[in-house]
Structure 1
Amino acid sequence: MSRVGAEPGMAMDTGMLVPDRVAALAARQPDAVAIGSGGHALTYAELHDAATTLASELVARGVGPEVCVALCFERSSALVIAMLAVLEAGGFYLPLDPEYPAARLELMVRESDAVLVLGDQRSLALLPEDIGVPAVPVRDDGRAGFPGVTAPAVVPRAAVSPGNTAYVVYTSGSTGAPKGVVVTHSALRWFVENLQYAEPGTNDVVALASSPSFDALAFECWVALTRGARLHVVPRPVLLSPSELARSLRAGGVTMMYVTAALLQQLAVETPQFAAGLRILFFGGQRADHRSVLLVREKSAPARLVQVYGPTETTIWSSYQDVDEGGARGWIPLGEPIAGTTEYLLDAGLHPVPPGTPGEIYIGGDGVVRGYLGRPDLTAERFLPDPFRRGEPAARMYRTGDLARRRQDGSLEFLGRADGQVKIRGFRIELGEIELALTAHPEIAAAVVTVVEVPGGPQLIAHYVPEAGALPAKGRRLREFLAERMPPYMVPALYLPLERIPLAPNGKIDRPALVPPLTPDGRIDRRRLATRGAAG
């Protein structure tokens, strides 16, 4: 069973790559504001000039097609300038979140073969001293502190083809290391050219609110800047304060925003009216709490509230669903594929499943990325030839690992993951990666990480067996140990010691036996856990 996205009806028909589209807009509307940040505004002409100057510096230092430049910034005008500059230089960018542990950032820089790191002063200070490549500070106006002679004003870039890499985003890996997803210019162009469901325009103001290492930031940045809209920078402290966020959105005149389903749930509890005045609010990243979605729709009344679905491997997202079309079900369908996308619901033998039968979601079309950076084995495992597009030998589809079923009314219901991947606060992670990190602790012999749904959203729990003769480690020490190795959303909140890992009759881990006791209102019952000897 397949679902095919509608043919492009209002798609941009320029055929231009993203940096060329931004350059054309800078020539057409030079005085229009491109970025608003902290009371300061940057016009399209100023953005283009700053990016071109920085791009010339990059080209003079060897940046070109298939050459990586890592970016380590807080959300800011400088981040956007640097992203555009790398694309204008013909290279590809690797976004780094400065809040990630230094060891993880170092791994990403090393594996991507980045030739340098651009960043703001504060973020660069968080990098390890032996990062292995030059770290160059960039000011808010895009001026970079390159040592030596300044490059000429304009250095021609090498020819860039649609098949060249535009950016790489790292996601969690089950083998103990994150995976770099390689997104090409053609895939990025497909995404920004097929936004009929959002209809962005020059009157829109798009919130720049996602983590720099989350592919939703590419949506925010390039949707705005390829359609002549304005970006409104939302700093990290503001995003973490529901009341401050609501004020910032109003003050900036924001009309379009993306939030993760987890953040939407938090905002629904504290400030459900935060999205009042928005033309369209997107949410996604994991299964949404239906009650929270309806509360935000009631209290904020944005013109449209839209759930989006799709993995990084199919370029940002691949389908959408207006909540007003699915809110009465008690759950929200996955919605309709974007133009140029095909979604299949298949069994283990790659055969379409009948209505009502669970199947795995496979996604084909123009948004399917090249694969995983330096991982041909994993690329071959997850990116398969598309057997349903006969006559197109190069067509591929991505195996998502997500399960769904077709309901009687034709809607597609998301059922969860087919493997150990979960989504926490919108970020996709592999539980196996956390387990491997835990077992690297000298006092832990074995570990299993599970997820429990509680009112505040999904929560990670670490179950571990101490080394022989060792006392159970304190939860605080284990949290600190993991915090040095992975981002905050991958650090479990609770640590439970076990005598042994429970096994089912088939020899696999008996995960149901690890489910913690819950209180009547659905929270973890810590009092009853105390009898198990929880480490906190």
Structure 2
Amino acid sequence: VAVTRGGFRNLLCGMRETFPSPANERVLFTTSATFDIAGVEVFLPLITGGRIIGAHQEQIHNPPALVELIDRHAVTLVQATPSALRPLLDALGDRPRALEIFAAGEALPAELAARMLRAGTRVLNGYGPTETTVYASVAEITDATGTVPIGRPTAGTELYVVDDADRPVPVGVPGELLIGGAGVARGYLGRDDLTAERFTRNPFAAGRVYRTGDLVRWLPGGDLEFLGRLDH
């Protein structure tokens, strides 16, 4: 996927709004550099004057050692997939910390979100494909008794829920998610056919949208709920 410098800059500006100080002061870096969300762990603290708390491979795969690193450096922000968060929460135990926990990359189960709320001071759930430069929406989770939403658009991002004729659907009605805005990538390198299929003219504003193929719906409070894939 060919993302743009402007799209990446937009991502970081949005993350700076989502994670103001003190969250961005000491950011844990555990994600492989080949996974797009790693860009937040590296560049967010660099643009805000924070610190990157890097974990060694042996610490990443040893949750108690990772907790020791978090406590020793008073880490303020942890970003990870739900699969990686589960063993980390086991190791964190019952003592809450001054820690913001950001889940991304996979669907976040409600029971795991509830554990995150007990472990930290702030819990967020992020959604977004690489084709729109990592994060298109973020939800702040304060109640994990129901379905965990994927949130509202990040800065510079436009979200549209449409039917099969690209008409906006009402709140509560499932539809395909189209993403527009500054983060939309150029397309797929060497795949002009796929680029033309997935990146199309924005039917509501200037520019292009990425057709995610994801089935979502707007919730009454203004957040999006992820329902699955259109092709499943």
Return the offset for 1:411: 3.5
Return the offset for 1:201: 6.2
Q: Residue 34 of structure 2 aligns with which residue?
A: 213
Q: State percent identity of aligned pairs.
A: 36
User: Is the aligned partner of 1:403 residue 2:215?
Assistant: yes
Q: Residue 151 of structure 2 aligns with which residue?
A: 335
Q: Residue 200 of structure 2 aligns with which residue?
A: 384
Q: Residue 130 of structure 1 aligns with which residue?
A: none
Runs of 4+ in 1 over 4 A off after TM superposition: 200-203
Q: Residue 223 of structure 1 aligns with which residue?
A: 44
Of 352-361 and 404-413, deviating more is 404-413
CA contact (8 A) 1:405 1:413 kept: yes
- In 2 relative to 1, CA 400–274 (structure 1 residues): closer, same or farther, beyond 3 Å? farther
Map Cα deviations across residues 319-338 of structure 1 (whole Å, 9 max, x no partner): 111111x423x111111111
Work out the CA distance in 1 between the residues paired with 2:133 and 2:139. 17
Q: Show the 5 A alignment for 1:272-351.
A: 272-273=92-93, 276-298=96-118, 300=119, 302-324=120-142, 326-328=143-145, 330-351=146-167
Map Cα deviations across residues 303-361 of structure 1 (whole Å, 9 max, x no partner): 2111111111111101111111x423x11111111111110111122111222221111
Q: Residue 57 of structure 2 aligns with which residue?
A: 236
The AA in structure 1 aligned to 2:82 is A
Map Cα deviations across residues 514-536 of structure 1 (whole Å, 9 max, x no partner): xxxxxxxxxxxxxxxxxxxxxxx
Return the offset for 1:416: 1.1
Work out the CA distance in 1 between the residues paired with 2:37 and 2:18. 16
Work out the CA distance in 1 between the residues paired with 2:220 and 2:183. 29
Aligned partner of residue 103 in structure 2, secondary structure: strand
The AA in structure 2 aligned to 1:417 is R
CA contact (8 A) 1:346 1:352 kept: yes
Return the offset for 1:202: 9.8
- In 2 relative to 1, CA 211–275 (structure 1 residues): closer, same or farther, beyond 3 Å? farther
CA contact (8 A) 1:272 1:296 kept: no
Q: Residue 266 of structure 1 aligns with which residue?
A: 87
CA contact (8 A) 1:265 1:293 kept: no
- In 2 relative to 1, CA 373–278 (structure 1 residues): closer, same or farther, beyond 3 Å? farther
Aligned partner of residue 79 in structure 2, secondary structure: strand
CA contact (8 A) 1:211 1:217 kept: yes
Work out the CA distance in 2 between the residues paired with 1:239 and 1:203. 20
- In 2 relative to 1, CA 289–203 (structure 1 residues): closer, same or farther, beyond 3 Å? closer
User: Is the aligned partner of 1:193 residue 2:13?
Assistant: yes
- In 2 relative to 1, CA 202–398 (structure 1 residues): closer, same or farther, beyond 3 Å? closer
Work out the CA distance in 2 between the residues paired with 1:403 and 1:253. 39
Q: Residue 227 of structure 2 aligns with which residue?
A: 415
Work out the CA distance in 2 between the residues paired with 1:371 and 1:289. 31
| Long gaps (5+) in structure 1 | 1-180, 421-536
CA contact (8 A) 1:265 1:289 kept: no
Q: Show the 5 A alignment for 1:60-71.
A: none
Work out the CA distance in 1 between the residues paired with 2:99 and 2:153. 21
The AA in structure 2 aligned to 1:418 is L
RMSD of the TM alignment (CA)? 2.0
- In 2 relative to 1, CA 202–345 (structure 1 residues): closer, same or farther, beyond 3 Å? closer
Higher radius of gyration, 1 or 2: 1
| Long gaps (5+) in structure 2 | none
The AA in structure 1 aligned to 2:111 is R
Aligned partner of residue 245 in structure 1, secondary structure: helix
Aligned partner of residue 87 in structure 2, secondary structure: helix
Q: Residue 191 of structure 2 aligns with which residue?
A: 375
Q: Residue 172 of structure 2 aligns with which residue?
A: 356
Return the offset for 1:253: 2.1
Work out the CA distance in 2 between the residues paired with 1:232 and 1:282. 16
Work out the CA distance in 2 between the residues paired with 1:399 and 1:342. 12
Output the TM-score relative to the length of structure 2: 0.92
CA contact (8 A) 1:307 1:334 kept: yes
Output the TM-score relative to the length of structure 1: 0.41
Q: Which has the higher contact order (CA 8 A, sep 6+)?
A: 2
CA contact (8 A) 1:337 1:343 kept: yes
Map Cα deviations across residues 213-266 of structure 1 (whole Å, 9 max, x no partner): 101111111111111111111122212222111111111221112010221233
